[in-house]
Amino acid sequence: MRLIVMGQQAFGKDVLAKLIETGTDEVVAVYCEPDREGKPVDPIKEYALEQGLPVHQPANFDDQTALDTLAGFDADLMVMAFVNVFVPGAARDTPKFGSICFHPSLLPLHRGPSAVNWPIIMGSTKSGYSWFYPSDGLDEGDSLLQWECEIGPDDTVIDLYFKKIYPSAVDSVLQVCDLFRAGNPPRIVPDESQATYERRCTTKHSRIEWHRPVKQVYDLIRGTNPAPGAWTEYDGGKLGIFDCALVPGDGISGRVRAISEDGIEVQCVGGRILVKRVRPEGEGKMAASEWAASVGLEPGATIGT
């Protein structure tokens, strides 16, 4: 088949590389976001140019020229791997078989831009990814295939996305193409009664409230690690909270209960968070024990508000 690959960053680049290295299908063009002043060249663009592929970077598909250029490649399928630009039906439907899009959740669950963060934050025990037929709605449409994985009790965003979802998803693009090539690709109709949408997870959502149940606090920290990063307040400044563990213990919420080489124990409702790694405002990440020593932190001190 003749393919157009549309994507960005490392995932888009690795999907493109998988297709080229396998060589079963012909990639005829690559689409990615416009260059941003002062930002590095997108990895997918850099790789595509190295491979001698035509690269196009329209800001949108509102004009006929952009649509005519897309149609000129006479593609069978457009593979959309990590796409932030809205692609209207006039562009999506140009290839013979239309377009197929990747999303890192089990649609229709967790539609939206932070689909890896929210399942962890919400305490879910499973996630995965979907390849779906995109429509004008955000992450809406029937699915072609879905892949499910466990969210471990201590998994962070790195564990779930980069160690589980990412490698499987890159490999799965070959299965996607096989399904279209074979004819009559599946269409899994979503149960809209199960649909959820969550907005982008930002630092507004990742502020720690230590008076909450300890499991909720722990899930928030691991679900925002490494980005956008959970945080709390100390001595008038922000303190980023990263690698942690659950430990038993009682006391007043928000109080530091113990300090050791392993980190600092902060009390929540029903247990404690052992904070192992922090990032003081304006500084880099460091061991929590190192930070505690540098500010003279002692058991009984209050963290947060």
Q: For residues 174 and 25, give the distance between their C-alpha atoms in angstroms, rounded to a whole number.
A: 9
pLDDT of residue 224: 98
pLDDT of residue 216: 98
Instruction: Identify the DSSP state of 269.
Output: B
pLDDT of residue 151: 98
Domain ranges across the chain: 2-194, 214-295
Q: Which residues contact 174 (CB under 8 A, 6 or more apart)?
A: 18, 19, 22, 24
pLDDT of residue 85: 85
What are the respective helix, strand and coil percentages of the chain, to the nearest 5? Answer: 30, 25, 45
CA end-to-end distance (rounded Å), the chain: 58
pLDDT of residue 179: 97
Q: For residues 135 and 90, give the distance between their C-alpha atoms in angstroms, rounded to a whole number.
A: 11
Q: For residues 41 and 120, give the distance between their C-alpha atoms in angstroms, rounded to a whole number.
A: 31
Q: For residues 83 and 12, give the distance between their C-alpha atoms in angstroms, rounded to a whole number.
A: 9
How many residues are there in the chain? Answer: 305
pLDDT of residue 98: 97
Q: For residues 207 and 129, give the distance between their C-alpha atoms in angstroms, rounded to a whole number.
A: 27
Q: Domain 2-194: give its CATH code.
A: 3.40.50.170
pLDDT of residue 84: 86
pLDDT of residue 79: 98
| Mean pLDDT per 10-residue segment, the chain (305 residues) | 96 98 96 92 96 96 94 98 92 97 98 97 98 96 98 98 98 98 95 96 97 98 97 95 96 95 97 98 96 96 90
Q: For residues 55 and 45, give the distance between their C-alpha atoms in angstroms, rounded to a whole number.
A: 7
Q: For residues 170 and 11, give the distance between their C-alpha atoms in angstroms, rounded to a whole number.
A: 7
CATH of 214-295, one of 3.40.1790.10, 3.10.25.10, 3.20.20.70, 3.30.70.100: 3.10.25.10
